[in-house]
Amino acid sequence: MKFNKVNWNAAYKWLSGKQELLVRAYTKNDMEKVRHLQISILKDFRTTAIAVRRVTTSKGSRTPGVDGLLATTKEERNKLSLRVNKIVRSPSTYEPLAVRRVWIPKKDGTKRPLGIPSIVDRAIQAVYLEAIDPIVECNACKNSYGFRKFRSAQDAVLALRGKLIHPKASEWILNADIAKCFDKINHDFLLRSVPVYRKVDRNVLKKMLKAEVIDLRDVIYPEMGTPQGGVLSPILCNVALNGLEAAIKNKAIELRRPILKRGGNPKVHVVRYADDFIVIGPSKKMLVALRPYIEDFLTERGLEISKAKSSLFNVWEQDIEFLGFSFRKRRFNYKKRFEVSWKKPNYKSPSRIIIRPSIENTRKFKTKVHEMIRSHADLSTLVLKLNEYLCGWANYFALTGDSAKRVRDLRRFVLWACWHKVIKLYPKMPRKQIRKRFFPTHKFYQLGRYVNRAWVFSVPTKLERPSVKDAKLRLYNLDSIKAPGKAITPTGLNAYKKEDIIKLEESKARVALPSGTVEKICNRQNFICPACGQSLSNGEDIEIHHTLSLKIARLHPSPNKQVKLVALHKLCHSRVHSEET
Ligand SMILES: [Zn+2]
């Protein structure tokens, strides 16, 4: 078996079939079968290949571990997959390398530690991920949205809106932040509750958790926590925190008579994204009473709520800050289309939840843009870099129509910053000429008609782009993203069951790419790579494949150009070309 000979389509199909069987066996409590299925998933070369592909093509794949090794070429990946498969087949011989510690600056000035395992260890973690994640998914909280297939931070935001939007919805909020979740998780608890059923596998996980951490010259032997930067760590975070929602809700049902003095639904909700969660309750008293139970739940796992960052308040009095968005509940006059009063109204008045990027986040955006503009002297690379960042930002934050004004302001801000950059670069050029050369009016095709837009920052590019006539690189327009009006993801579904996957895919977010042409081609393919059958938005690089060679396409231009272009993963693209020759 060789990495570059794997039939990806068949491999992914085989793996998802096995994972579905695993989920079915687990729900029937047939533990013997679960054990066998897990072993067959772990030992198979196809899982190894998928794991190696995941760790060598993802965004984080370019950071090496302590050994400085990165598998970027075909031969290196072949070698890596053989090595990983050998270890997975006889796990008792496995000895992980040390974890490299990197410090990443945080927004409040402090630094966050990141632990980066070597590429071999990452690949082995990814193999275990495929065997563990289906079972973790079976036990997942209904409203947990972090690090789960088909669930994103935006789903968490929309779910939170769903809990707040009804006029009679609960109004008290406990915004809880777990202090240093990844660094503090209790090892014994994790090893007890991780769903693996062989002693060898448990030992492998134990060795991974206890692997020494190298911080410049210091060597640390961790007693708790999991390395942030490992493939398995997010899943382990979910393993530790699953059950939180059910525990809180059950306690609330117990407490409703003594506190709320009524029966029925206590109207307590929990929305969690990884280690960040929000509890919504009907009264302050209820949340104050629930808090010790939440703290008990967390202490068992070695965690605690950070006192400085958590708060208890009413929605009408304070904005909720969650995942970079700010939520506020306001009375709203739909006929006049503006906010009526910020005082607490009676229940009959229509209210609405306004979701915007938080002020802190827009500030972060501005400093980031300034920093990028300062650090790039060449305009065309600057525009490429900016496009990538702006597009990612807009994809995430243009979630609701409420963001529109803030996004418009930011667009103007970026343009203004670019204008000053160009003036500095060409101090002797008259302003009128700068305007004409770098900020011309451009015709866009939008919503079925052509629209003129003034002040489009565009620079001549040195890149070879044969499909574009004038070869100009334009700044991505932040305004161009429409709020998708995304449907709320249904809860209680399992991302490894076929019938549930169909339902989950319906509510998947639309992704915009910095290049309009690439986006159009991807959309035509429904964001599926035709070579491997996997989603194009899985974090790998996308490349455009010309089904005719470029030379022929140039010699015989035809009106229907797009049909000759196919979007593929970078890996699949190189495979297609190697098979041609
Ligand atoms: Zn592909």
Read off the pLDDT of residues 172-200 as tens digits, 9 standing for 90 and up: 999 988 888 888 888 888 888 888 888 88
CB within 8 Å of 36: residues ≥ 6 apart: none
Per-residue pLDDT tens digits for 41-100? 988 999 999 998 888 887 767 777 777 777 778 888 888 888 888 888 888 888 888 788
Closest CA to 327 of 489, 160, 107: 160
Joined tokens for residue 120: 């071999």
Separation of alpha carbons 326 and 320, rounded Å: 5
What letter would DSSP give residue 139? Answer: T
The alpha carbon of 38 and the centre of ligand 1 are apart by a number of angstroms equal to: 26
CA atoms within 13 A on the CB side of 361: 17
For residue 58, the CA-to-ligand 1 centroid distance in Å is 13
Ligand 1 centre to CA of 567 (Å) is 9
pLDDT at 521 over 80: yes
Neighbours of ion ligand 1 (CB under 5 A): 529, 531-532, 569, 572
- Per-residue buried b or exposed e for 70-99, using 16+ beta carbons within 10 Å of the residue's own CB: bbeeeeebbebbebbbebbeebeebebbbb
pLDDT at 131 over 50: yes
- Residue 347 predicted with pLDDT over 50: no
Helix then strand then coil, in percent of the chain rounded to 5, is 50, 15, 35
Euclidean distance between CA atoms 116 and 230, whole angstroms: 6
Residue 336 scores a pLDDT above 80 = no
SS3 state at 226:
coil
User: Which amino acid type is present at position 564?
Assistant: K
Query: Which residues lie below 8 Å from residue 244, measured CB to CB, with a gap of 6+?
Result: 141, 270, 272, 277, 294, 297
* 221: pLDDT strictly greater than 50: yes
- Per-residue pLDDT tens digits for 142-171: 888 888 888 888 888 888 988 888 878 888
Give the percent of the chain with pLDDT over 70: 88
Q: How far is the CA of 415 from the centre of ligand 1 (A)?
A: 36
Instruction: Quote the pLDDT of residue 562.
Output: 46
Distance 531 CA to ligand 1 centre (A): 5
Distance CA 565, CA 449 (A): 24
Confidence of residue 454 (pLDDT cuts 50, 70, 90): confident
Contacts of 287 (CB under 8 A, 6+ apart): 172, 174, 279, 281, 312
Taking 70 as the threshold, does the pLDDT of residue 341 lie above it? Answer: no
Mean pLDDT of the chain: 82
Smallest CA-to-CA distance from 209 within 197, 193, 218, 217 is with: 193
Q: How far is the CA of 72 from the centre of ligand 1 (A)?
A: 17
What is the C-alpha separation between 280 and 245, in angstroms, rounded? 11
3-state secondary structure of 495: coil
Query: Phi first, then psi: what are they for 213, rounded to 5°?
Result: -110, 130
Query: Ligand 1: distance of its center to the CA of 533 in Å?
Result: 6
Tell how far the Cα of 145 is from the centroid of ligand 1, in angstroms: 26
The pLDDT confidence band at residue 226, using thresholds 50, 70 and 90, is confident
CA of 8 to the centre of ligand 1 (A): 8
Left if phi > 0, otherwise alpha if psi is -120 to 50, otherwise beta: which for 235? alpha
CA of 527 to the centre of ligand 1 (A): 10
Half-sphere exposure of 146 (CA within 13 A, CB side): 19
| Contact by Cβ (8 Å): 489, 509 | no
Helices (H), 112-198: 119-138, 153-164, 181-184, 187-193
> How many Å lie between the centroid of ligand 1 and the Cα of residue 579?
14
Contact 446, 455 (CB under 8 A): no
How far is 405 from 447, CA to CA, in rounded Å? 20
Q: How far is the CA of 578 from the centre of ligand 1 (A)?
A: 14
β-sheet bridge partners, residue 450: 445
Render pLDDT for 7-20 as a digit per residue (tens, 0 to 9).
888 899 999 999 99
Nearest CA to 277 among 291, 262, 259? 291
- Give the distance (Å) from ligand 1 centre to CA of residue 243: 36
Which band of pLDDT confidence, cut at 50, 70 and 90, is reported for residue 555? low
Categorize the per-residue pLDDT at 271 as very low, low, confident or very high, splitting at 50, 70 and 90.
very high
The secondary element (H helix, E strand) that includes residue 326 is strand 325-333
Is the pLDDT assigned to residue 366 strictly greater than 90? Answer: yes
Q: Helix 233-241 crosses helix 119-138 at what angle (to 10 degrees)? A: 30
pLDDT per position as a tens digit, 23-56: 999 999 988 999 999 999 988 999 999 998 888 8
Nearest to 143 by CA among 126, 129, 155, 125: 155
Q: What is the pTM of this model?
A: 0.85
